[in-house]
Amino acid sequence: MNPCGYLLRMCSDLVTTLDHSLSLGVVALIHFVVSEDAGELSFEDLCEDLELQFSFEEESSHRVTLNTTPRKGFVKDKLKEFSGRHQLIVGELKMKPRSCDTFVVLPPLTAHGGIVFGKNSDRPNGEVQELVYQPAQEHSAGSKLKCTYISVDQVEQTHAVILSKPSWMWGAEMGANDCGVVVGNEAVWSRITDLEDLEEKLLGMDLVRLALERSENAEHAVDVITQLLETYGQGGPCSDTDPFFTYHNSFLIADPKEAWVLETADKEWAAERISGSLWLVLSSPSSDTSEAEFDGLKLANGAQRNPPHHKGDFHFTRVYSKPIDLVEGKRQKCGRNLLANLSKDNSFSVSSMFTVLRDQESGICRPPDDSFPTTGSQYLYSVHLHTVKKSCEFTLGYLNQVSVLSPFRSGKPHCHWFTATPNPQLSVFKPFIFTPKVRISKHTQSPVFQPDPVQIIPRFESTVDRSHTLYRLHHAATLDQNTTVISLLQEMERNCVAEVEKLLADFKESQSLDEVDDLLKDIVETEVKFYK
- Which residue from 427, 141, 103 is spatially nearest to 274, judged by alpha carbons? 103
Bridge partners (DSSP) listed for residue 389: 280
Bridge partners (DSSP) listed for residue 254: 182, 259
**From 4, 11, 47, 100, active-site residue:** 100
Distance CA 150, CA 83 (A): 28
Distance CA 308, CA 21 (A): 14
What is the enclosing helix (H) or strand (E) of 504?
Answer: helix 483-506
398 SS3 class = strand
**Structural contact between residues 30 and 63, judged by C-beta atoms closer than 8 angstroms:** no
Distance CA 167, CA 447 (A): 9
* DSSP per residue, 402-441: EEEEPPTTS-PPPEEEE--SS-GGGS--EEE---TT----
Distance CA 425, CA 490 (A): 9
- Which residue from 503, 524, 492 is spatially nearest to 419, judged by alpha carbons? 524
- What is the bridge-based pairing of β-strands 137-138 and 415-418? unpaired
What is the enclosing helix (H) or strand (E) of 378?
Answer: strand 374-381
Label residues 94-127 b or e (16+ Cβ within 10 Å = b): eebbbbbbbbbbbbebbbbbbbbbbbbbbbbbbb
Catalytic residue flag (residue 100): yes
Residue 119, CB half-sphere, CA atoms under 13 Å: how many?
A: 39
Angle between helices 218-232 and 204-214 (to 10 degrees): 130
Q: Which residues contact 61 (CB under 8 A, 6 or more apart)?
A: none
Which segments within 255-330 are labelled E, that is strand? 259-265, 268-273, 279-280, 295-299
In the chain, % helix, strand, coil (3-state, to 5) comes to: 25, 25, 50
* DSSP per residue, 142-198: T-EEE-SSSEEEPPSEE--EEEEEETTSSS-SEEEETTS-EEEEEEE--TT--GGGG
* Alpha-helix residue ranges (DSSP H) falling in 254-380: 316-320, 326-343, 350-357
User: Between the CA of residue 329 and those of 28, 277, 364, 394, what are the distances in Å?
Assistant: 19, 19, 12, 17
Q: Is the peptide bond before 124 cis (omega within 30 degrees of 0)?
A: no
- Which residue from 385, 183, 219 is spatially nearest to 297, judged by alpha carbons? 219
Q: What are phi and psi of 78, to 5 degrees?
A: -65, -40
The residues annotated as belonging to the active site are: 100
